[in-house]
């Protein structure tokens, strides 16, 4: 059953207070590739993109010495 207009309004109000939005534009065809990859790993597209960003930022913040393998 679809959400009522009041429920949609309440949800949108919560989302606008609790989350920031980032619009992402990708080349044609890449959206399907991203969706397939996320699904194959049991994630939503949003979850996958968030994880990719977090992991990249963590890796970028490591010192060069920490990246060297013995």
- pTM here is 0.70
Are 27 and 34 spatial neighbours (Cβ–Cβ below 8 Å)?
no
- Can you give the three-state secondary structure of 5-37, one letter per residue? HHHHHHHHHHHHHHCCCCCCCCCCCHHHHHHHH
Indicate the average pLDDT of the chain: 91
pLDDT (tens digit per residue) in 3-52: 899 999 999 999 999 999 999 999 999 999 999 999 999 999 999 999 99
């Amino acid at each position: 059953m679809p959400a009522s207009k009041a429920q949609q309004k309440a949800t949108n109000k919560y989302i606008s207070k609790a989350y920031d939005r980032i619009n992402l534009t990708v080349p044609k065809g890449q959206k399907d590739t991203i969706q397939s990859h996320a699904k194959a790993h049991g994630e939503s597209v949003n979850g996958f993109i968030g994880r990719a960003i977090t992991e990249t930022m963590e890796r970028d913040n490591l010192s060069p010495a920490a990246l060297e393998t013995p």
